[in-house]
Amino acid sequence: MNLTLIDDWRITIGRRVLLGPNVTLCTTGHPIHPDHRMDGMYSFPITIGDNVWLGANVIVMPGVTIGENSVIGAGSVVTKDIPPNVIAFGSPCKVYRTINEHDAEYYFQDRRFDQLPTD
């Protein structure tokens, strides 16, 4: 819902990618210095690897690559590349930890996959 693609350059999205509501992928920006800001825009590609999950309200900036299997937390602004197999969040987005065996056993906080509700 409400996906925004500023696609003045290539956006590559892998397989089995989850995009939360209000995600923005922005390949384009303007120079920061006021003497050059109106000179035009710049654009760099964005690459999202396979099995990535971008939470609600994530913004991905020009030139960023997000590695396969990574999770980007809601509300993050991704300004630099994120490696594969990590959980990252924040503004600016930073790696918090690697996805590990605990994540294979627990789906949310202390709730285990083998104890899913039946109702």
pLDDT interval class at 116 (50, 70, 90): confident
CB 66 within 8 A of CB 86: no
* The domain made up of 12-26+38-53+62-100 is a member of CATH 3.30.470.30: no
Q: Specify which residues 53 forms β-bridges with.
A: 18, 71
| Domain chopping of the chain, boundaries | 12-26+38-53+62-100
Q: What is the model's pLDDT at position 35?
A: 95
Q: Please give the positions annotated as active site.
A: 30
pTM for the model stands at: 0.93
- Residue 117 tokens, joined: 């509700």
Please list the helix, strand and coil fractions of the chain in percent, rounded to the nearest 5, in that order: 10, 40, 55
Q: Confidence band (pLDDT; 50, 70, 90) for 119?
A: confident
